[in-house]
């Protein structure tokens, strides 16, 4: 009898190389090659991006197969073998872990995974959840990877909003060398496939965002809304080096899932992320380097919101806020100052703007010149003709606000993997079947 078998993997990479998506691709193809039937695309699940011990994008992976009861041991052995072979074992701070789960994913694991998107979880809790949900966990070096390996299995990628990424991997001999991709072809791919893909290029700087720069094995990764669209886009890009393999992942990238939680200022904890609404409490401060900090008050307390210069339009918008404006802010808690949390902003939604009033001295009714004040409650005198204007007060002139009640997010080059690229995300209603997208590197070399 066939049963669902889920394998979660995390933390097989380090800053010295490797990539957990690569491990998952190797495992997926290994199982496929031995005749096992996948029940879905491999999943690339991004977790809380504020976790300081992540290597890059806090990604964890899961693969899902339909396995005959009698062959489950064989699949377990293959998975552990592949993970051991692909980890960058010499690197410290790498805590590779594998989790196995047979049958349907229980609610407790779904909830754990949901919280891994925006909270900081402990290994102790991960072990407890594994015990309660019947998952088997293996830590190959340190133990922290258990959190991500379980969260990957528990993610809600089929019913909740999701996107896709196609990743092509480099051959071993090219690792560490500059990537050879025809950048003009990426630009024309972006122009042609713009509606079905996202974050290919940063429009202002022209920077190519589909190709990383480090020592990891990813040559190119294209994000989009359906397997067919990422595949079509990939076919448009000219690669000037051989690829070892190519894989399509179902992901939660570009869904904003980490910011979905409503929070209160007084309850925020270090490295959590989420969204809260409130009233701007003080005139924003512009720091050296162009970073902007403003204080926000909700019914529970205060937070400082930090919009860093690379967030560009977001930082510019933050600069123009006035006390009394109502906003909804999203981001991660970077730290606390005098007990007040500082939220690194990833999204700013302007809900309501107060009127901006400029207060000017009155005009002279004799010559039309601007008057000057003669002191507190002493009235005004015209600077031009000297006439005194006794019973007058400053006049109030409403000013135009540059801000609009809209959403401000950073430019593509400064976004998180999870950042929703536009406020109207596209949701594909097609049921894409993994069997139709089994790709062979030979076809692209
Ligand atoms: P890459 O994106 O290249 O795969 P990474 O940025 O995913 O690298 P990891 O090497 O996976 O980084 O390290 C992240 C670590 O943080 C893992 O050990 C994972 O288990 C742990 N982790 C992930 N989410 C949470 C969370 N919400 N709370 C606590 N620990 C977490």
Q: Are 6 and 101 in contact (CB under 8 A)?
A: yes
Q: Are residues 142 and 263 in the same domain?
A: no
The domain that holds 58 is classified in CATH as 3.30.70.2200
Q: Are residues 240 and 93 in the same domain?
A: yes
Answer yes or no: is 242 within a domain: yes
- Measured from the Cβ of residue 267, the count of other Cβ atoms closer than 10 Å reads 12
| Side-chain-side CA neighbours of residue 264 (13 Å) | 5
Summarize pLDDT for 246-258 with one digit per residue, the tens.
Answer: 999 999 999 999 9
Summarize pLDDT for 352-363 with one digit per residue, the tens.
Answer: 999 999 989 988
Residue 336 CA, ligand 1 centroid: distance in Å: 23
Helix (H, G, I), strand (E, B) or coil at 83: helix
Mean pLDDT of the chain: 92
Residue whose CB lies within 8 A of the most ligand 1 atoms, among 51, 86, 92, 96, for a mutation test: 51
What lines the ligand 1 site, CB under 6 Å? 10-11, 13, 19-20, 47-48, 51, 53-59, 95, 116, 119-121, 144-145, 147-148
Q: Are residues 128 and 206 in the same domain?
A: yes
Cα separation, 214 vs 344, in Å, equals: 25
C-alpha dist (Å) from residue 372 to 99, 165, 365, 379, 395: 76, 65, 13, 9, 12
Residue whose CB lies within 8 A of the most ligand 1 atoms, among 55, 83, 135, 165, for a mutation test: 55
Q: Are residues 210 and 118 in the same domain?
A: yes
What's the N-to-C CA distance of the chain in angstroms?
39
The number of folded domains in the chain is 3
Cα separation, 5 vs 101, in Å, equals: 6
The number of the ligand 1 atom at minimal distance from the alpha carbon of 18 is: 3
Q: Are residues 50 and 112 in the same domain?
A: yes
Q: Are residues 147 and 173 in the same domain?
A: yes
Q: Which residues pair with 164 in a beta bridge?
A: 224, 250
The domain that holds 340 is classified in CATH as 2.40.50.1010
- Measured from the Cβ of residue 31, the count of other Cβ atoms closer than 10 Å reads 22
Express as a percent the part of the chain with pLDDT over 70: 96
The pLDDT, as a whole number, for residue 89 is: 56
Cα separation, 28 vs 329, in Å, equals: 39
Q: Are residues 74 and 176 in the same domain?
A: yes
The pLDDT, as a whole number, for residue 30 is: 96
Answer yes or no: is 416 within a domain: no
Answer yes or no: is 225 within a domain: yes
Q: Are residues 102 and 230 in the same domain?
A: yes
Cα separation, 390 vs 146, in Å, equals: 77
Answer yes or no: is 417 within a domain: no
The pLDDT, as a whole number, for residue 12 is: 79
pTM for the whole thing?
A: 0.91
Q: Are residues 370 and 433 in the same domain?
A: no
Residue whose CB lies within 8 A of the most ligand 1 atoms, among 9, 22, 54, 221, for a mutation test: 54
Q: Are residues 232 and 267 in the same domain?
A: no
Q: Would you state the structure tokens that stand for residue 222, as one six-digit string?
A: 């294209």
The pLDDT, as a whole number, for residue 65 is: 97
Summarize pLDDT for 389-431 with one digit per residue, the tens.
Answer: 877 788 899 899 989 999 999 999 999 999 998 766 677 666 7
* Residues constituting the chain: 445
Residue 123 CA, ligand 1 centroid: distance in Å: 12
- Which residue range is the domain that position 73 belongs to? 2-255+422-442
Q: Work out the pLDDT band at 261, boundaries 50, 70, 90.
A: confident
Summarize pLDDT for 267-276 with one digit per residue, the tens.
Answer: 999 999 999 9
Q: Are 302 and 295 in contact (CB under 8 A)?
A: yes
Please state the rounded mean pLDDT for residues 274-295.
Answer: 95
Does the structure show a pLDDT above 70 at 106?
yes
Written as one string, the DSSP assignment of 92-138 is TT---EEEEEESSPPHHHHHHHHHHTTS---HHHHHHHHHHHT-EEE
Q: Are residues 297 and 229 in the same domain?
A: no
The pLDDT, as a whole number, for residue 92 is: 61
Q: Are residues 70 and 171 in the same domain?
A: yes
């Amino acid at each position: 009898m066939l049963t669902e078998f889920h394998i979660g993997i995390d933390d097989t990479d380090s800053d010295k190389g490797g990539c957990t998506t690569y491990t998952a691709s190797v495992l997926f193809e290994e199982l496929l090659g031995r005749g096992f039937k996948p029940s879905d695309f491999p999943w690339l699940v991004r977790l809380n991006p504020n976790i300081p011990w992540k290597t890059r994008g806090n990604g964890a992976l899961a693969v899902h197969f339909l396995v005959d009861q009698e062959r489950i041991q064989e699949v377990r052995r293959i998975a552990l073998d592949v993970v051991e072979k692909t980890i960058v074992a010499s690197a410290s701070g790498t805590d590779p872990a594998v989790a196995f789960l047979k049958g349907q994913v229980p609610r407790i694991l779904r909830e754990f995974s949901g919280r891994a998107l925006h909270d900081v979880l402990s290994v102790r809790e991960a072990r407890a959840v594994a015990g309660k949900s019947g998952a088997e966990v293996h830590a190959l070096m340190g133990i922290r990877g258990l959190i991500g390996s379980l969260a990957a299995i528990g993610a809600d990628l089929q019913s909740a909003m999701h996107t896709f990424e196609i990743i092509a991997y480099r051959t071993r001999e090219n690792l560490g060398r500059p990537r050879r991709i025809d950048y003009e072809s990426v630009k024309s791919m972006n122009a042609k496939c713009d509606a079905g893909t996202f974050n290919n290029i940063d429009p202002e700087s022209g920077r190519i965002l589909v190709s990383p720069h480090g020592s990891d094995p990813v040559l190119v990764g294209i994000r989009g809304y359906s397997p067919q669209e990422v595949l079509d886009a990939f076919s448009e890009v000219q690669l000037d080096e051989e690829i070892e393999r190519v894989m399509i992942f179902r992901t939660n990238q570009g869904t904003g899932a980490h910011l979905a939680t409503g929070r209160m200022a007084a309850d925020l904890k270090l490295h959590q992320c989420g969204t809260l609404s409130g009233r701007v409490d003080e005139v924003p401060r512009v720091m050296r380097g162009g970073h902007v900090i403003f204080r926000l008050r909700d019914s529970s307390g205060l937070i400082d919101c930090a919009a860093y210069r690379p967030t560009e339009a977001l930082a510019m918008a933050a600069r123009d806020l006035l006390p009394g404006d109502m906003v909804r802010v999203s981001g991660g808690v970077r730290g606390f100052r005098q007990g007040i949390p500082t939220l690194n902003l990833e999204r700013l939604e302007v809900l309501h703007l107060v009127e901006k009033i400029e207060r000017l001295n009155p005009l002279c009714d004799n010559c039309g010149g601007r008057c000057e004040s003669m002191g507190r409650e002493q009235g005004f005198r015209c600077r031009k003709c000297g006439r005194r204007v006794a019973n007058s007060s400053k006049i109030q002139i409403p000013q135009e606000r540059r801000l609009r009640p809209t959403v401000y997010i950073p430019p593509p080059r400064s976004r998180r993997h999870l950042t929703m690229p536009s406020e109207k995300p596209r949701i594909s209603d097609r049921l894409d079947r993994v069997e139709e997208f089994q790709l062979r590197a030979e076809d692209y070399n």
